[in-house]
Amino acid sequence: MSLPAFAELLERLVFTPGRNAKLALLRQWFADQPDPERGIGLAALTEELTFSAAKPAMIREIVAARTDPELWRMSYDYVGDLAETVALIWQPRAGVNAPPPLLSEVVEALETTPKAEIPALLAGWLDTLDAGARLALIKLVTGGLRVGVSARLARVALAEWSDVAVEEIEEVWHGVEPPYTTLFQWLSGQAPRPDPREAPVFRPLMLAHPLEEADIAALRAEDWRAEWKWDGIRVQLTAGPGGRKLFSRGGEDISAAFPEILAAMEFHAVLDGELLVMRGEEVAPFADLQQRLNRKSVTARMLKEHPASVRLYDILIDGEEDLRPLPFDARRARLEAWHGRVAPARMDVSPLVAFDSLDALARLRDGARAASIEGLMLKRGDAPYVAGRVKGLWWKWKRDPLTVDAVLMYAQRGHGKRSSFYSDYTFGVWREDGELVPIGKAYSGYTDEELAWLDRWVRNNTVNRFGPVREVERGVVFEVAFDAAQLSSRHKSGVALRFPRIARIRRDKPVEEADRLEAVLALVENRPR
């Protein structure tokens, strides 16, 4: 019953907004299903395994052979989605009582069946399935599952199910392949840990805690080293005889989106750094890097206009030598020596920031107004490189946020626990011509009491509805905190905010006195004048 069971999992994952609920569904799948079904299902969900055996047009033809054209037209009009219309309208042939196929049978048959025979194969399977499983099969064979399960979420579920630390799973993850039989056997205690040998695998990153005022007093300046915290994305570069990979901070393989970085990885090492778009010496705004993210491939134009670089923070492995147990100071010396020796293209070493007291450092932090800098990192000179967020070894010390007073314009309900609350707010500022233009959207920063108050206010002051969105009376001013303002052609106001959140509700402030757009534009760094 594997395909119907997979269909049920798929449907619940698609409909479930909550992360914890998704994890529970995945845990149950790993526990209930045998090998290789559970691994194939996992690979299909994370889109490690995709098919293009059938195009939508082929599915359409298969169903046309069995359906009155008028009824098809009316049904498709009503449902609006081809795959779903086919799944729902499909009338199994009378007398079929073959069992539904296993997921593994489907995968194997798709790989070995000649293209001309695929339609008959699909029709035969569809006859054995109910509507939900038919939809799952059609989505699977046309390569369009899109369930929103990241490989990271899957690994967390594997960790919870097996009681093996997620960091350990991450270390082998990129060395195992669908259907992950060796991985499942290891996690269920039936086989030793799979040996990735020379395959380029991900090593979990060392992470920092935010530094609070209360923590600062306890720090002795001489124990600590400081670096700028660059506003890009944290990456791990791993290269050697077994291949090259660029991983995001969560362990996603993003190599395909950054071929110029891969090309520059002519070495045998594992490095930690910040991926940035750089033009000469200048770090471009985060929005530029965003253009390059989440792509399966890139165009020559992208490469030219948004060139990527890596600013290195650390070295984890040099050749065969694991440097992670060494203290930070020793690794730093190795990193600088390595960089001087190898001199890779598109990579520089993030400089240490010299300071003699934390007060002096605080002044440096406050003085750094470049949009490319989020703040400072503090790292203990004697700390080894350890996976995860171990308190007291690394701190992130973000600079104080910028603020703007903006007017609430639209509200939308949230998800999960917030599904009955209008908790997502779009806010705007006044343009010269007197029009209010939206500059951002925030989902956080308020207290539960403030949320309850805002929810009531939105319901009582709605002037317009656009589907799930309510437009409200101009009546509430937010003090919005954010990390940086950047120019954006995608927003009507021409500006976008980094990490906006509601700092407080300015009940004292009339809407006319909210900020003007010019005031926000003045906060944009590197603005062409």
Partner 1 sequence: MRPVNTPHPETWLKVTPSGLFCEPGGFFIDPTRAVDRAVISHGHSDHARPGHAHVLATRETLAIMTARMGEGRAGTAQQALRCGETLEINGVRLWLRPAGHVLGSAQVCMEWRGSRAVVSGDYKRQADPTAAGFEVEPCDLFVTEATFALPVFRHPPPETEIARLLRSVALFPERTHVVGCYSLGKCQRLIAMLRQAGWDRPIHLHGAHQALCRTYEELGVRLGTLRAATVARKEDLKGAIVLAPPGAVADRWARRLAEPVVAVASGWMRVRQRAKQSGVELPLVISDHADWDELLATCTEVQAPEVWVTHGREDALIHALGLRGIKGRALHLVGLGEEEDEVEVVTEDPAA
Residues 132-171 that bind partner 1 (CB under 8 A): 135
Residue 80 interacts with partner 1 (CB under 8 A)?
yes
Contact code string over 107-136 relative to partner 1, x by CB under 8 A: -----------------------xx---x-
Candidate segments 18-26, 339-347, 489-497, 509-517, binder of partner 1 by CB under 8 A: 18-26
Residue 528 interacts with partner 1 (CB under 8 A)?
no
Give strand pairing partners of 244.
239
Residue 88 interacts with partner 1 (CB under 8 A)?
yes
Q: In three state form, how does the secondary structure of 480-508 look?
A: EEECEEEECCCCCCCEEEECCEEEEECCC
Q: Among all residues, which ones are annotated catalytic?
A: 229
Contact code string over 52-71 relative to partner 1, x by CB under 8 A: ---------------xx-xx
Taking CA atoms, 287 is separated from 217, 262, 328, 403, 496, in Å, by: 36, 22, 32, 19, 9
Candidate segments 84-92, 309-317, 400-408, 442-450, binder of partner 1 by CB under 8 A: 84-92
Closer residue to partner 1 (CB): 183 or 458: 458
The tokens describing 378, both together, are 């503090």
Q: Report the nearest approach of partner 1 to the CB of residue 100 (Å).
A: 14
Residue 89 interacts with partner 1 (CB under 8 A)?
yes
Closer residue to partner 1 (CB): 25 or 368: 25
Q: Report the nearest approach of partner 1 to the CB of residue 142 (Å).
A: 16
Residue 25 interacts with partner 1 (CB under 8 A)?
yes
Contact code string over 378-417 relative to partner 1, x by CB under 8 A: ---------------------------------------x
Contact code string over 189-228 relative to partner 1, x by CB under 8 A: ----------------------------------------
Q: Report the nearest approach of partner 1 to the CB of residue 409 (Å).
A: 19
Residue 75 interacts with partner 1 (CB under 8 A)?
yes
Q: Report the nearest approach of partner 1 to the CB of residue 146 (Å).
A: 12
Residue 233 interacts with partner 1 (CB under 8 A)?
no
Residue 82 interacts with partner 1 (CB under 8 A)?
no
Closer residue to partner 1 (CB): 140 or 393: 140
Q: How many residues does the chain have?
A: 529
- CA dihedral 380→381→382→386, nearest 10 degrees, is 60
- Among residues 419, 444, 510, 519, the one that binds partner 1 under rule CB under 8 A: 419
Residue 447 interacts with partner 1 (CB under 8 A)?
no
Q: How many helices (H) and strands (E) does the chain have?
A: 20, 21
Q: Report the nearest approach of partner 1 to the CB of residue 82 (Å).
A: 11
Query: Which residues fall within 8 angstroms of residue 23, CB to CB, at 6 or more apart?
Result: 153, 156, 157, 160
For the four alpha carbons of 230, 232, 236 and 240, in that order, the dihedral sign comes to negative
Closer residue to partner 1 (CB): 70 or 212: 70
Closer residue to partner 1 (CB): 90 or 397: 90
User: Residue 429: how many CB atoms within 10 A of its CB?
Assistant: 24
Task: Give all strands (DSSP E) within 202-343, no chain letters.
Answer: 209-210, 224-230, 233-240, 243-248, 269-279, 282-283, 308-318, 321-322
The tokens describing 227, both together, are 């670096």
User: Residue 115: how many CB atoms within 10 A of its CB?
Assistant: 9
Give the CA radius of gyration of the chain: 27
Q: Can you tell me whether residue 255 is helix, strand or coil? A: helix
Half-sphere exposure (CA, 13 Å, Cβ side) for 243? 14
DSSP 388: B
Residue 466 interacts with partner 1 (CB under 8 A)?
no
Q: Report the nearest approach of partner 1 to the CB of residue 157 (Å).
A: 13
Residue 459 interacts with partner 1 (CB under 8 A)?
yes
CA distance 245 to 239: 6
Candidate segments 23-31, 266-274, 324-332, 484-492, binder of partner 1 by CB under 8 A: 23-31
Q: Report the nearest approach of partner 1 to the CB of residue 128 (Å).
A: 15
Closer residue to partner 1 (CB): 135 or 310: 135
| Residue 490 Cα to chain centre, angstroms | 21
Give strand pairing partners of 353.
226
User: Residue 219: how many CB atoms within 10 A of its CB?
Assistant: 16
| Contact (Cβ atoms closer than 8 angstroms) between residue 39 and residue 142 | no
- Among residues 79, 221, 368, 402, the one that binds partner 1 under rule CB under 8 A: 79
CA distance 247 to 250: 8
Candidate segments 19-27, 36-44, 208-216, 263-271, binder of partner 1 by CB under 8 A: 19-27
DSSP string of 399-420, one letter each residue: PPPEEEEEEEEEEEE-SGGGTT
CA distance 74 to 79: 9
Closer residue to partner 1 (CB): 110 or 131: 131
| Contact (Cβ atoms closer than 8 angstroms) between residue 243 and residue 200 | yes
| Contact (Cβ atoms closer than 8 angstroms) between residue 333 and residue 352 | no
- Among residues 57, 65, 78, 512, the one that binds partner 1 under rule CB under 8 A: 78
Residue 32 interacts with partner 1 (CB under 8 A)?
no
User: Residue 470: how many CB atoms within 10 A of its CB?
Assistant: 18
Kindly determine how many residues on this chain lie close enough to bind partner 1 according to the rule CB under 8 A: 35
Where along the sequence are the contacts to partner 1 (CB under 8 A)? 8, 11-12, 14-18, 21, 24-25, 28, 67-68, 70-71, 74-75, 78-81, 84-85, 88-89, 91, 130-131, 135, 417, 419-420, 459, 462
